Amino acid sequence: MGYGEEQIKDLEETINARPCDLVIIGTPIDLRRVVKIKHPADRVRYELQVIGWPTLEEILQARFGK
């Protein structure tokens, strides 16, 4: 399932409107091939195994807060 032109445009505008040092791309595709990102960007890969507890949300909240 892909994104329409308007959704891609909205995503590009949202990313570029945020002040940041780096955009981390953690999607199955490299977003730089679809949208023009004005910030430095790097793509990461990850594997996720759902084990129950702690949840990813709990780990991120503990590390970065709400």
pLDDT digits (tens, 9 = 90+) for 40-60: 999 999 887 878 888 888 999
Pairwise CA distance, residues 35 & 17, whole Å: 13
Question: Which pTM value belongs to this model?
Answer: 0.66
Q: Could you give the residue ranges of the DSSP H alpha helices within the chain?
A: 5-17, 56-64
> Which residue would you say has higher pLDDT here, 56 or 38?
38
Q: How confident is the model at residue 16 (pLDDT cuts 50, 70, 90)?
A: very high
pLDDT of 39: 97
The Cα 27–Cα 16 span in angstroms is: 17
Give the mean pLDDT of the chain: 90
The residues near 15 (Cβ < 8 Å, ≥ 6 apart) are 23, 31, 35, 37, 39
